[in-house]
Structure 1
Amino acid sequence: MQLNQLFERASALAGHRFADVAAALNIPMPENLRRNKGWVGQLLEAALGASAGSQALQDFPELGVELKTIPLDAQGKPLETTFVCTTPLVDIDQLTWETSNVRNKLQCVLWIPVDGRRDVPLAERRIGTAFLWQPTPAQDAQLKADWQEHMDKIALGEVETITAHQGEVLQLRPKAANSRVLTDAIGPDGQLIQTLPRGFYLKTHFTAQIIAQTFEVPHAPPAR
């Protein structure tokens, strides 16, 4: 598949209800997303033929493209942060921004906005207009600075002091199905400790900026 074919396929989904796409693909339709948080993303991956699955690759590695859905409210504002990838917590001394999975995932993103309004039944929600995005030099610098700050803290054994408030555009927070899922990390004295897995997420004001720039809609700066 070529990039233009992928984009045409994604564009053709615009306006379709989740229920119609799910029925066409014989994918069971949950009543809501409370226990099926990743269902919308999985539906669109199936509709577009994404091949990476849960691997640490872009969703379309042959094209160098990552697929991200973004639920919006009635005003077109993102309703939640956007998961990028899990975070390495050990063996990180050779990692650089240029070789990081965050940069790999975000170097070219096929964004698909979706109706995220809670008061609309899941089956009736519709898919929005897809668009391709690559970080500007300024956005790349913002992402790099946040990534470096988080990774420095991890290397210093301070992973458990990092909060979701840190980072201008890229936050780090626990990523686990439940609190019993633990992984190795560097402790304060350089020893291995057990902690919750962590994931990188794009903050909503950053994705709102991307939406605003793409569709030329007004964008309020983030509250300080």
Structure 2
Amino acid sequence: MQYDSPQALLQHAQSFAGFTLGELAERYKEEIPQRLLHKKGWIGQFLELILGAESGSLAQPDFPELGVELKTLPIDELGNPLESTYVSVVPLINIQGLYWENSVVRHKLMHVLWVPIVSSKHLAVEDRQIAMPFLWKPTAEEANTLKQDFEDVLDQVSMGNIDNLDARYGDILQVRPKAANSKALTDAIGPEGSTIRTLPRGFYLRPQFTKSCLKRQFN
């Protein structure tokens, strides 16, 4: 599906506001998984499908012609984010020449279509409801903080300090393990430049940050 502007994409996304995932799945003849434990990405993939996103798992924004990334945001009935938001994998090896300016993280976070979804634990998947989508760009201050967080992580990775990085690190971007299980290991730079095996890591946006984005939009 082609859009001539981010605003056209936003209008299409906002046409789904108020509908439950069950109602939309019925309209688009999609089967809803009863439990998301083993299909955690289904909601995001379903939204990509009905909005016509083309990137799939490629390292670029979901709507590359617009430079817009689609992010679903699970919230409770009071509008509080329920979890951190995955952005991209943390590169753990071959990071020469990688900077904030040419990073996947920056490309994905410069313009985001947020789709909040009321997803409290007591709600069945089909009863989760689409709230009002909105377009977001980081302020100059937020962009600087994102850049600092990213560069701090890359410095630690390059020095072989991957095991020092945990969820406490970073003001906006946090680093967390990103793996199906504890056996899914990948190569990383180890102490003194050696190669070690470790769990893949991902960049995530802190819930406090996405809460501030929601507050700015709807207050």
TM surpasses 0.5: yes
Task: Please report how far the alpha carbon of residue 27 of structure 1 lies from its aligned counterpart in structure 2 after TM superposition.
Answer: 1.6
Show the counterpart of 2:181.
178
**Correspondence list, 1:74-223, <5 A:** 74-216=77-219
Task: Please report how far the alpha carbon of residue 196 of structure 1 lies from its aligned counterpart in structure 2 after TM superposition.
Answer: 1.0
| Aligned mates of 1:128, 1:74 — CA distance in 2 | 10
Between 1:39-48 and 1:2-11, the stretch displaced more is 2-11
Normalising by structure 1, report the TM-score.
Answer: 0.94
Question: Does residue 31 of the first structure (1) align with residue 37 of the second (2)?
Answer: no
Show the counterpart of 1:40.
43
Partner of 1:54, secondary structure, is coil
Amino acid at match of 1:111: W
| Aligned mates of 2:23, 2:83 — CA distance in 1 | 24
- Paired residues in the alignment total 216
Q: 2:58 aligns with which of 55, 60, 82?
A: 55
Task: Please report how far the alpha carbon of residue 191 of structure 1 lies from its aligned counterpart in structure 2 after TM superposition.
Answer: 0.9
Q: Which runs of 5+ in 2 are unaligned?
A: none
| Aligned mates of 1:191, 1:34 — CA distance in 2 | 36
Q: How big is each residue's C-alpha offset from its partner over 1:65-105, in whole Å with a ceiling of 9 and x where there is no partner?
A: 00000000121100000000111111112111111111110
Show the counterpart of 1:220.
none
Q: How big is each residue's C-alpha offset from its partner over 1:181-216, in whole Å with a ceiling of 9 and x where there is no partner?
A: 111110011011111111100001000000000001
Task: Please report how far the alpha carbon of residue 4 of structure 1 lies from its aligned counterpart in structure 2 after TM superposition.
Answer: 2.5
Task: Please report how far the alpha carbon of residue 28 of structure 1 lies from its aligned counterpart in structure 2 after TM superposition.
Answer: 1.1
What is the aligned-residue identity percentage? 45
Between 1:165-174 and 1:29-38, the stretch displaced more is 29-38
Task: Please report how far the alpha carbon of residue 32 of structure 1 lies from its aligned counterpart in structure 2 after TM superposition.
Answer: 2.6
Task: Please report how far the alpha carbon of residue 34 of structure 1 lies from its aligned counterpart in structure 2 after TM superposition.
Answer: 2.0
Task: Please report how far the alpha carbon of residue 35 of structure 1 lies from its aligned counterpart in structure 2 after TM superposition.
Answer: 2.1
Amino acid at match of 2:94: D
Partner of 1:112, secondary structure, is strand
Partner of 1:189, secondary structure, is helix
List structure 1 runs of 4+ shifted beyond 2 angstroms. Answer: none
- Cα RMSD of the aligned pairs, angstroms, is 0.9
Show the counterpart of 2:69.
66
| Aligned mates of 1:36, 1:151 — CA distance in 2 | 30
Partner of 2:204, secondary structure, is strand
Question: Does residue 13 of the first structure (1) align with residue 16 of the second (2)?
Answer: yes
Show the counterpart of 1:222.
none
Q: How big is each residue's C-alpha offset from its partner over 1:118-139, in whole Å with a ceiling of 9 and x where there is no partner?
A: 1112111110101000000000
Normalising by structure 2, report the TM-score.
Answer: 0.96
Partner of 1:143, secondary structure, is helix
